[in-house]
């Protein structure tokens, strides 16, 4: 419990990695309360339609004008039913073909219907079109008031107030800041901005300032109104485009500006270091969760690992750095030629999954379960290397350790902020052996390459329930994780159950010289797999046994994986 508290404090007190700020361009702002007074317009006024709704992109826009005195007099002012996202602006005027016969000095009803994937909005407002002489008089006697009335057009929601932004620094993390007021339908102000980071799953401390005098004096938007959705609590997660809403309070009634600007200030939080014997990821929020909390434990809970650690939580064990002999000696029963033995030095500690990733855990991260033999506590299977890391960024190992955002590890990294990944072959075998030099990680060698009685106590393979070797019939198939005896470091099912993907490109020759933190060849055709599976004979489940497959191949219920974290 003490570790959990210290870890949480470290997260809160972590030093920010980088801070940046950027202003929007100036935009029109009107703080008057909502009114039903008719809007005064000139016949030649141009109104433009903005593609940014509060939620979603408009895909259908219709604007109909109707004579308030004679409902039979209507005209289609503007219509776009393209069904695709409308970008940029569409301008129209009151002297267009559909509207040219509407007399001035009368009041009309304008009804707008705007539809996106996520919402539909219908607005109706009274509009009085002024003849030129009346417009001149109004401008003469009403002055700025008239100009404000024009600014309060029904089409303000459609007005082009989203202008190109500039970043305060060329290499900054804040850019593309723009502001749009949704007046007169409501007083909502939309703030669009983009955040950049070199890290995966970044989290930013964020604040918003406003100014009516080109930044000479500023005020905190959070203190002068209500922030909604992203950033309302002072934090934003993830790089890319973001949108925060601000509802100004009554302080701004009667406030008007043609040069309203918003400044976005973002500070990227540093990821706190991990220091615990066990690392626990809470997946209970499921695929819709904004984050997966990470905590640590000093020891195995009293009574052992409960069911939650195989379903709604994921637990990893700290493995200290060390030196061992990868591969197998010539005398080992069941040995293959691709297991040439040599020394490997691992210079950094890492965390290894106590269990293979289960179907429930995979589903809570991705929202899907591709497995053939489905059960929450069974290991997830029918997963390819590319499903786990991605076929684009994730295909670059060992050039870098980036992953695709929509892959399993992409999602896990974004929601934990830690770079979880598959292990290298060296990390996997070091964790499997747990200090042992024998074929099996419990200090035992094989006595039979097919049906070995010692292996039957350590994991599920063909001869202890995986299948019938005489008929080829699948019996129980996979076993629930944690059913068999763990190795000396408390890791379960390192022998059998499912073959586990590793990071490395596969090479038949592991080498003969001593290697330090080996990452595998620069390129090859196949990715490496370790551990054997429920359809394997005993020889294929040894600590040194190796296999390989095309990284895109996942249509096989014998392939699964385990989560690691390099320090």
pLDDT-derived band at 70 (thresholds 50, 70, 90) equals confident
3-class SS of residue 140: helix
Give the CATH number for residue 189.
Answer: 2.60.40
Residues 236 and 376 in one domain: no
Placement of tokens 């002999």 in the chain: 325
> What is the rounded distance in angstroms from the CA atom of residue 41 to the CA atom of residue 99?
14
Least confident of 63-67, 449-453, 477-481: 63-67
> What is the rounded distance in angstroms from the CA atom of residue 172 to the CA atom of residue 170?
6
Residues of the domain holding 248: 16-26+163-269
Q: Give CA torsion, residues 267, 233, 412, 272, to 10 deg.
A: 50
Does 3 reside within a domain? no
DSSP 194: E
Strand-pairing partners, residue 319, are 350
Does 180 reside within a domain? yes
The confidence score (pLDDT) of residue 144 equals 31
> Which is more confidently placed, 307 or 190?
307
The confidence score (pLDDT) of residue 183 equals 59
> What is the rounded distance in angstroms from the CA atom of residue 241 to the CA atom of residue 477?
45
pLDDT at 31 over 50: yes
pLDDT at 115 over 80: no
Placement of tokens 């539809």 in the chain: 115
Residues 263 and 372 in one domain: no
Residues 263 and 282 in one domain: no
| 26-to-161, 244, 249, 520 alpha-carbon distances in Å | 9, 17, 20, 54
Residues near 4 by beta carbon (within 8 Å), at least 6 away in sequence = 295, 296, 297
Give the CATH number for residue 410.
Answer: 3.90.1580.10
Across the range 123-127, mean pLDDT stands at: 69
Work out how many domains the chain is built from and give that number: 3
The percentage of the chain sitting over the pLDDT mark of 90, rounded to a whole number, equals: 54
The confidence score (pLDDT) of residue 113 equals 75
Whether residue 150 contacts residue 45, with contact meaning beta carbons closer than 8 Å, is answered with: yes
The percentage of the chain sitting over the pLDDT mark of 70, rounded to a whole number, equals: 75
**Exposed/middle/buried for residue 84 (C-beta within 10 Å: 0-12, 13-18, 19+):** exposed
> Which is more confidently placed, 320 or 476?
320
The confidence score (pLDDT) of residue 219 equals 95
Residues 472 and 511 in one domain: yes
Look over the chain and give the mean of its residue pLDDT values, rounded to a whole number: 81
Across the range 91-102, mean pLDDT stands at: 50
The confidence score (pLDDT) of residue 402 equals 92
Residues 225 and 308 in one domain: no
Pairing type for strands 120-129 and 39-41 reads parallel
**Maximum Cα–Cα distance for the chain, whole Å?**
106
> Which is more confidently placed, 182 or 336?
336
**DSSP, residue by residue, 401-445:** ----TTSHHHHHHHHH-S-EEPPPHHHHHHHHHTT--SSBTTTB-
pLDDT-derived band at 472 (thresholds 50, 70, 90) equals low
pLDDT at 94 over 70: no
Last residue in a domain, options 92, 124, 151: 151
Whether residue 129 contacts residue 77, with contact meaning beta carbons closer than 8 Å, is answered with: no
pLDDT in tens, 487-530: 999 999 999 999 999 999 999 988 778 899 999 999 999 999 99
pLDDT at 556 over 90: no
């Amino acid at each position: 419990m003490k570790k959990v508290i210290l870890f949480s404090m470290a997260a809160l007190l972590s030093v920010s990695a980088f801070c940046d700020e950027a202003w929007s361009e100036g935009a029109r702002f009107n703080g008057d309360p909502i009114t039903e007074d008719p809007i005064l317009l000139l016949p030649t006024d141009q109104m433009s339609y903005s593609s940014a709704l509060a939620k979603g992109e408009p895909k259908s826009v219709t604007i109909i004008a109707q004579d308030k005195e004679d409902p039979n007099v209507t005209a289609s002012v503007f219509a776009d039913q393209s069904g695709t996202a409308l970008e940029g602006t569409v301008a129209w005027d009151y002297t267009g073909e559909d509207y040219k016969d509407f007399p001035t000095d009368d009041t009309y009803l304008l009804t707008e219907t705007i539809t996106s994937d996520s919402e539909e909005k219908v607005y109706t407002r009274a509009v009085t079109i002024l003849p030129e002489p009346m417009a001149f008089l109004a401008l003469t006697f009403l002055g700025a008031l008239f100009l404000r009335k024009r600014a309060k057009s029904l089409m303000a929601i459609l007005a082009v107030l989203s202008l190109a932004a500039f970043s305060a620094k060329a290499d900054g993390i804040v850019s593309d800041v723009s502001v749009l007021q949704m007046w007169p339908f409501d007083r909502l102000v939309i703030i669009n901005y983009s955040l950049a980071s070199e890290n995966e799953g970044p989290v930013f401390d964020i604040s918003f300032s406003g100014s009516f005098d080109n930044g000479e004096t500023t005020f905190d938007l959070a203190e002068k109104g209500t922030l909604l959705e992203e950033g309302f609590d002072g934090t934003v997660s993830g790089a890319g485009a973001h949108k925060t809403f601000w509802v100004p309070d009554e302080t701004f009634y009667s406030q008007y500006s043609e040069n309203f600007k918003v400044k976005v200030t973002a500070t990227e939080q540093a990821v706190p270091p991990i220091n615990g014997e066990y690392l626990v990821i809470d997946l209970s929020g499921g695929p819709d969760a904004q984050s997966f909390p990470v905590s640590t434990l000093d020891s195995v809970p009293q009574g052992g690992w409960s069911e939650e650690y195989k379903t709604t939580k994921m637990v990893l064990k700290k493995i200290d750095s060390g030196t061992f002999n990868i591969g197998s000696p010539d005398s080992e029963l069941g040995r293959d030629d691709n297991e040439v033995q040599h020394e490997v030095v691992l210079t950094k500690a890492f965390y290894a999954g106590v269990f293979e990733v289960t179907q429930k855990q995979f589903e809570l991260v991705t929202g899907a379960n591709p497995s053939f033999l489905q059960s929450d506590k069974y290991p997830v299977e029918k997963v390819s290397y590319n499903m786990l890391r991605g076929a684009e960024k994730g295909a670059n190992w060992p050039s870098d350790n980036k992953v695709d955002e929509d892959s399993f590890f992409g999602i896990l990294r974004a929601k934990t902020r830690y770079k979880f990944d598959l292990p290298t072959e060296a990390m996997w075998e070091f964790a499997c052996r747990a200090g042992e030099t024998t074929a099996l990680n419990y200090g035992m060698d094989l006595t039979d390459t097919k049906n070995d009685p010692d292996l039957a106590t350590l994991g599920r393979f063909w001869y202890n329930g995986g299948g019938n070797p005489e008929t080829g019939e699948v019996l129980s198939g996979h076993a629930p994780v944690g059913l068999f005896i763990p190795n000396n470091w408390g890791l379960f099912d390192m022998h059998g159950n499912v073959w586990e993907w590793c990071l490395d490109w596969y090479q038949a020759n592991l080498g003969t010289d001593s290697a330090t933190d080996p990452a595998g060849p620069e390129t090859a055709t196949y990715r490496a797999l370790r551990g054997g599976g429920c359809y394997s004979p005993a020889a294929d489940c040894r600590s040194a046994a190796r296999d390989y497959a095309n990284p895109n191949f996942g249509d096989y219920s014998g392939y699964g994986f385990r989560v690691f974290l390099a320090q």
